[in-house]
Amino acid sequence: MAGKVVKKSGWQRRKERVRKKIHGTAERPRLSVFRSNKHTYAQLVDDATSSTLASVSTENKALKADAKANKTDKAKQAGVLVAELASKSGITSVVFDRNGYLYHGRVKALAEGAREGGLKF
């Protein structure tokens, strides 16, 4: 009997296609975005050492305090917060990894927040 063929989802295929082209270093880490149904997460990743330099999510206590903000507003605030953490670590430039998601909505808001916070990409 032949092996079972597993069909990858469109999100997984887009994610692999994006990740083939980008690579983070210690000087210019990868800003990786993950979007769940409730929250948005961002990590600064150094791919050379496979380590996370900083991470932020909308579950953060500082962002949870604003109960009236919608998910897009919280994602933008998370972008500003990740930019602050990056500047404390001496990082000014990053490679943006949208992780297979369309550059729209929460992903775009996080990127704009990070730019407002001072990151360049």
Q: How far is it, in rounded angstroms, from Cα 41 to Cα 85?
A: 14
pLDDT value of position 10: 85
Q: How far is it, in rounded angstroms, from Cα 49 to Cα 24?
A: 10
The CATH class for the domain spanning 24-116 reads alpha beta
What is the pTM for the complete model shown?
0.86
What is the average pLDDT across 91-107?
93
Give the domain ranges of the chain: 24-116
H or E stretch covering 54: strand 51-57
Q: What are phi and psi of 118, to 5 degrees?
A: 115, 0
Res. 1: pLDDT tops 60: no
pLDDT value of position 60: 85
pLDDT value of position 61: 82
How many Å is the maximal CA-CA distance in the chain?
57
Tell me the residue ranges of DSSP E strands in 58-120.
95-97
pLDDT value of position 3: 67
Q: Which residues pair with 3 in a beta bridge?
A: none
pLDDT single digits (tens) 76-92: 999 999 999 999 999 99
Q: How far is it, in rounded angstroms, from Cα 116 to Cα 4?
A: 48
Res. 74: pLDDT tops 80: yes
